[in-house]
Amino acid sequence: MQYMRSIDAINSQILSVLEREGRISNTDLATKVSLSPSACLRRVQELERRGVIKGYRAVIDRAVIGEVITIFVTVGLSGQLKQDALDFERAMSVAPVVKECHNITGSVEYLLRVEVQDLATYKEFHSNVLGVLSQVSSMTSHICLGSSKDVRNLV
């Protein structure tokens, strides 16, 4: 991975605008950051080339497609071997209801963000995916009642 030692003020502005408005046209982006369109495009392409900008995405309204329950799950592993973590992460990477898997510090090893249509779907995941992994020693589920701030859902 190549690191940019510093991001200048203009690149910082570009990144800030693109985080909020990923589909903005280059012309509009250039106007917002006070550059010519060609200079702006060169900077964006360089940020992409260096891996600072990893991609662009659509923001999905999960309620519209039926995935309305978000559950945060803390997971403790039974062992501290690297292979235990790799096996767990591999299992989570192929579980479609797992939207995020974070290795964290504290009393447990992982925090998952799970999105499901209903509690029956979550129970299926809890019992038949998490519940059968030999690496898992503990699971605690936290059902999200609402989110007052979620930058993933900014439009």
Domains 9-49 and 62-144 share a fold: no
Query: Which pLDDT value is given to residue 76?
Result: 97
The yes-or-no verdict on residue 153 having pLDDT over 70 is no
Q: Where are the domains of the chain?
A: 9-49, 62-144
Topology adopted by domain 9-49: Arc Repressor Mutant, subunit A (1.10.10)
The domain defined by 62-144 carries CATH number 3.30.70.920: yes
Nearest CA-CA partner of 77 in 64, 91, 67, 63:
91
Query: Is 0.85 topped by the overall pTM?
Result: no
Give the tens place of pLDDT for each residue, 42-59: 999 999 999 999 998 887
Write the single-letter amino acid at 48: E
Q: Which pLDDT tens digit goes with each residue over 101-120? A: 999 999 999 999 999 999 99
